[in-house]
A and B are shown apart, each in its own frame.
Chain A
Amino acid sequence: MGLESQEFRGLIETHQRMVFSIALRVTGEYGVAEEVAQDVFLELYRGGDKLENADHTKFWLRRVTVNRATDALRRKSRRPEAAAEEWTEEQHVADAARLDPAVEARLEDLLRTLPEPMRIAVVLRHQEEMLPDEIAALLGQPVATVKSHLQRGLQLLRRKAAVTMREYVR
């Protein structure tokens, strides 16, 4: 058998925020992210017993989520900005240490305008707090490529923020 039910439920509860958040920020759509996250966990259920330890499980979940989310994004072949309102209305973020919701929403909007490889690199770096070499290992890319995506992604975000978020400057 694959995973036992209790063990599987435990893994969902431990990792659902990580999986769902990556899926959401890569696809930019709440419904698609839910679907991707469910599929990722079902894949884990079917073959999870081959995962050796917690770190391996986390690595596997992140990689499969990025791949599935990218596939979903390409299948839809639409720009993820479409569901901006849906996202900001439905997200469930803990209130502690929150930014101004308008700034947060605007940054999420800007993130969705980044090209796919840059967006993935920025999400893994800033949401998952992964180092460039960890991201490179996860994505199977050279570290230099990941660093370049990160640098260019952040540069684009800063530039766009400077132009479109003037109203938030104090």
Chain B
Amino acid sequence: MSEMNGPEFDEVLAKAMRRVDASEGFAARVMGRAGSQTPISKSERSGAPEAVARSKGKLLMMPRVQTWMGGAIAAALVMGALIGTRVHVVRQQEQAALTERQFEAAMRLTNRALDQTQMQLQRAGLKLGE
């Protein structure tokens, strides 16, 4: 194989890549599955008269349903917006409280460190601000 030139390799490859059969009963299995499905008719795909007539039947019912649905969707959107705003405000408050707590903790640590430094300086005979 290592000595195989281009055309020879192509020939071997072509032989290796002949088509193979699916397992026995493939057609029957596909037919079985197809039997449980309804094909899409040409008229449905193309919007031919019968499909349009069916659509029109649905359209006659649309106005009442549309009004009700429109109201429901609008109400849902308003509720969603209100809830979203409330959640945002609560999160901001939580974040502010957390930041405040962190700031207080940092201040306590800084004050303690400064106190300790001051005490050490006093022990060494020095006074801050002189």
Chain A residues proximal to chain B, CB less than 8 Å: 1-3, 5, 8-9, 12-13, 16-18, 20-21, 24-25, 30, 33-34, 37-38, 41-42, 45-50, 90-94, 97-99, 103-104, 107-108, 111, 122-123, 126-127, 129, 154, 157-158, 161-163, 165-166, 168-169
Q: Which residue of B lies closest to A8 (CB)?
A: B34
Name A17's contact: one of B1, B3, B22, B39 (CB within 8 Å). B22
Query: Can you spell out 22 A-B residue pairs with CB atoms less than 8 angstroms apart?
Result: A16-B21, A16-B22, A18-B19, A20-B21, A20-B26, A21-B19, A24-B20, A25-B17, A37-B30, A38-B26, A45-B39, A50-B42, A92-B23, A98-B15, A99-B12, A103-B16, A122-B13, A127-B17, A154-B10, A161-B4, A166-B2, A169-B3
Residues from chain A with a CB closer than 8 A to the CB of B18 are 21, 93-94, 127
Q: Which residue of A lies closest to B43 (CB)?
A: A1
Interface bracket on B: 20 to 34
Contact B20–A126 (Cβ < 8 Å): no
Q: A9-B31, A161-B9 are in contact. Are A20 and B22 (CB under 8 A)?
A: yes
In the bound complex, how far is the Cα of B19 from the Cα of A123, in angstroms? 10
- Which of B3, B6, B16 has the largest count of A CB atoms less than 10 A from its CB? B16
Residues from chain B with a CB closer than 8 A to the CB of A161 are 1-2, 4, 9
Q: A20-B22, A42-B37, A158-B9 are in contact. Are A107 and B16 (CB under 8 A)?
A: yes
Q: Which residue of A lies closest to B46 (CB)?
A: A50
In the bound complex, how far is the Cα of B108 from the Cα of A1, in angstroms? 81
Contact A38–B15 (Cβ < 8 Å): no
Sample of 19 further A-B pairs with CB below 8 A, known A93-B20, A123-B17, A154-B13: A1-B39, A2-B40, A9-B27, A9-B31, A12-B26, A17-B19, A18-B19, A20-B20, A37-B30, A49-B42, A50-B42, A93-B21, A94-B18, A108-B16, A154-B10, A161-B1, A162-B2, A162-B4, A166-B1
